[in-house]
Amino acid sequence: MDSLKTVFGIDVSSRKSNVCIMVNGQKVNDYAISNDMVGFNQLLDDLKQVTNPQIIFEATGVYSRRLQAFLDMHDLRYVMMNPLEAKRKTKDDLHQNKTDKLDAMYLAKMQSEHPQRLAYVQSEEYQELMANNRIYEQASHDLITNKNRLHKAIQLTFPEIEHLLANPRGKNYWSIVLKFPHPNIVLETKEADIIDFLKSLSGIGEKRANDLAQRLIRLAKLACPAVKKSSAHIRALKAIKHILSAEETCQTALKEMAKLAPKRDLEILKSIPGIAENTALRIISELGDIRRFNNPNQLNAFVGVDPQVYESGNLTAHLSISKRGTAIGRKVLYLAINQIQSAKKAGNPCHIADYYEKRKRSSETASHKKAAIASIHKLLRTIFALITNDQLYSYDIAKHNQRFLS
């Protein structure tokens, strides 16, 4: 068996995994294992009987992470397929009766007939960077959800309080709303007690506390709430604690990313107009070590912004982007394009912003999204060139350098 091509197709689910073993394209065995040390060691025993086994499985989030960690621990290389890409590559087989056994077999068959590239195992630092960014992403999502929910509740209880501070979004604002969710609570509280509370908040001194207290009382007198202070909507505002917790989680994740990120790569990304430290940290966390890619096209494919190509007979058509990479990575890069555009409007030119505007002008029907996706290609090429050449961004060089403009 050692001289033969042996493929292990593994379909991973929450509690068990189905394994299909193919030798030279022919199935020789299939079985199920538990997703624990007992099951993984059973798989390891079979893998040890083969020279250079090829292992393929889909990236199924938290479920496949345990298998991935086990294989990494034993220095076993593998192919980790994006589920969307795996579905596209196996769609021609038209297996309508979807089962875990069939999924394992089709993965093994695909690797036997059309070998996929082995996954790149990044260092522990980069894995921790990505883990922190995923925590940041989830906390940020929770933050937006809770803020939208609380905004609606405040419109019923005390909408005027949104005019108390110039920036009604920070920790101080939410602490004040939590303390005074209804105008009647303000009016029933002694002014001295209001001032003492405001002074206890970060960055608020004696004079500002007095001014804010007077303003808060005036707003409370103007208010005409839709509900009483005993309403369930008041209790719903206790969810502010979740906002404060999510904000703290985001900040902690960013601090951890700042400790782990390569300082030079961070400096290079921040030199691109519009990309501040938070965005730069998140880009590094999602892209990992840029130097592992041989060219920008590989980087595009990793992110999933490379175009799909459909070929049938003499027809070749370019479809939408493949989306086979990381969705969070695409989201961060899309955000970066918006920030680069804003930076140009503020007087910080960038050839990527120029390219975006050129794409928008070239077609009256071009949407922001299409132009932004095209600009992400340009951004990835720029990031690849800057980091692999260890250079800071220069608008003048970028305008005349064909590596950037191609």
Q: What is the pLDDT of residues 250-298, one digit of tens each?
A: 999 999 999 999 999 999 999 999 999 999 999 999 999 999 889 999 8
Say if 362 falls within a structural domain. yes
CA distance 314 to 319: 16
Q: What is the mean pLDDT of residues 367-381?
A: 89
Say if 178 falls within a structural domain. yes
Instruction: Look up the CATH number of the domain holding residue 218.
Output: 1.10.287
**Nearby residues of 189 by Cβ (< 8 Å), 6 or more positions away:** 180
Average pLDDT of the chain to the nearest whole number: 88
pLDDT above 70 as % of the chain: 89
271 and 376 inside one domain: yes
Say if 257 falls within a structural domain. no
Instruction: Look up the CATH number of the domain holding residue 46.
Output: 3.30.420.10
For 217-250, give the secondary structure using H, E and C.
HHHHHHCCCCCCCCCHHHHHHHHHHHHHHHHHHH
* Whether the Cβ atoms of residue 127 and residue 89 lie closer than 8 Å to each other: no
Last residue of a domain, one of 231, 251, 271: 251
Q: Which pairing describes strands 6-12 and 54-58: parallel, antiparallel, or unpaired?
A: parallel
197 and 274 inside one domain: no
78 and 195 inside one domain: no
Question: Sign of dihedral through CA atoms 180, 184, 186, 192?
Answer: negative
Residue 355, pLDDT above cutoff 60: yes
Say if 141 falls within a structural domain. yes
CA distance 289 to 11: 28
**What is the residue type of 403?**
R
311 and 382 inside one domain: yes
Please name the residue ranges forming H helices in 238-350.
240-260, 263-270, 277-287, 296-303, 327-345
Q: Which residue has the higher pLDDT, 217 or 360?
A: 217
Q: What is the mean pLDDT of residues 112-138?
A: 89
Q: What are phi and psi of 292, to 5 degrees?
A: -75, -15
Q: What is the pLDDT of residues 284-333, one digit of tens each?
A: 999 999 998 899 998 988 888 876 543 334 433 344 666 666 789 999 99
**What's the number of domains the chain is made of?**
3
Last residue of a domain, one of 58, 87, 121: 121
267 and 400 inside one domain: yes
pLDDT above 90 as % of the chain: 64
Q: Which residue has the higher pLDDT, 236 or 315?
A: 236
Please name the residue ranges forming H helices in 2-99.
37-48, 62-73, 83-90
Q: What is the pLDDT of residues 36-47, one digit of tens each?
A: 999 999 999 999
Q: What is the mean pLDDT of residues 340-346?
A: 95
397 and 383 inside one domain: yes
Last residue of a domain, one of 75, 97, 121: 121
pTM of the entire predicted model = 0.75
Q: What is the pLDDT of residues 51-80, one digit of tens each?
A: 999 999 998 878 898 999 899 889 899 998
Say if 161 falls within a structural domain. yes
Residue in 360, 370, 385 with CA at minimum distance from that of residue 297? 385
103 and 145 inside one domain: no
274 and 371 inside one domain: yes
CA distance 25 to 109: 6
Residue 53 has a pLDDT of 95
Say if 246 falls within a structural domain. yes
Residue 404 has a pLDDT of 43
Domain that holds residue 345: 262-405
Residue 316 has a pLDDT of 38
Q: Which residue has the higher pLDDT, 362 or 348?
A: 348
